[in-house]
Structures are given as structure tokens and as C-alpha cells.
């Protein structure tokens, strides 16, 4: 997976879609077809539709956790395939979409991908997980 940087404050979802689908930021933005300026980011349903349009695969959410009590991102360290996570920091500020694959965290606000041990985002709480419909995680029951 290639790290794609977000261009605006609230477009981490578009960058995550680009990373999970293997396309460019511009291609993901073109599929978005929404207002140019994002006010509060994108909902998971639209992200799944964008991923389907770009990959031809169905994507779904398998988990929804409470922002303050959901599992930490680090508990998903075993995730192999491309997976998207909506996470919240411990202080409950704004949510953020990241992509994870094969032991790496791809944060669209960072300059490089980080391993599980190096990413401060691993202490953030997972609220939602997006993955290919055919994917199944036996360990975390996604």
C-alpha cells in the first residue's frame, strides 16, 4: 500500500479510500462527487460506495464501538489486508480515518507510514472498521 496524504483538514476519508483502493487522491476525489470543501468528513456508507466504485469489490463495516470505550487501534496489529479504521484520540477530539495493512499504519496526515510500535495512533480508540466484504478476521471477529 502507498501512503496518500490528505489535502484538506477533513478529507482523511478520501485519502484512506485512495490508499485502500490503490488509486490516486485525485481519482478518489473524482469518485466522491461531493462538495469541494468538506465540513466534517465523510460517513462510512459513502466511503464504502467509493471503494466499490474504485475496486469493484464490496466493502462493509463489521464493527461499531463507542468512541470513548472502543478497543485501541493497537489491538488490531495482526490485520493483514487493507483495512480502514475510524479512530478517536484519548481526549475525544475529532475522529480520523487511517488505513492499515500488513503491520503498517498509513496516516494521511503523516509524512510516512509507521509500524505498530512507532505510531502514536495505536493508543487511539477504534470506532468503526471498513474492510472488503469477503474479508474476515477470526481473532477480532470482524
Consecutive 10-residue averages of pLDDT for the chain (142 residues): 92 95 94 66 84 93 72 86 91 88 94 91 91 60 42
- For 103, the grid coordinates are 503491520
What is the rounded distance in angstroms from the CA atom of residue 25 to the CA atom of residue 76? 25
Long-range contacts, 110-115 (Cβ 8 Å, 24+) = 110/3, 111/5, 112/3, 113/1, 113/3
Q: With left for phi above 0 and alpha for psi between -120 and 50, is residue 110 left, alpha or beta?
A: beta
What is the pLDDT at residue 68?
64
For the chain, helix (H) and strand (E) counts, in that order, are 3, 6
Amino acid at each position: 500500500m502507498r501512503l496518500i496524504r490528505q489535502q484538506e483538514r477533513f478529507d482523511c476519508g478520501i485519502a484512506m479510500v485512495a490508499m485502500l483502493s490503490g488509486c490516486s487522491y485525485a481519482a478518489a476525489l473524482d469518485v466522491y462527487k461531493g462538495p469541494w470543501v468538506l465540513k466534517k468528513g465523510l460517513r462510512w456508507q459513502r466511503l464504502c460506495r467509493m471503494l466499490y466504485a474504485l475496486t469493484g469489490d464490496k466493502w462493509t463495516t463489521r464493527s461499531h464501538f463507542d468512541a470513548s470505550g472502543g478497543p485501541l487501534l493497537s489491538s488490531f496489529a495482526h490485520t493483514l489486508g487493507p483495512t480502514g479504521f475510524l479512530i478517536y484520540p484519548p481526549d475525544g477530539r475529532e475522529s480520523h480515518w487511517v488505513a492499515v495493512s500488513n503491520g503498517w499504519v498509513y496516516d494521511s496526515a503523516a509524512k510516512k507510514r509507521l509500524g505498530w510500535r512507532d505510531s502514536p495512533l495505536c493508543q487511539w480508540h477504534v470506532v468503526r472498521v471498513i474492510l472488503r466484504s469477503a474479508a474476515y478476521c477470526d481473532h477480532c471477529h470482524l
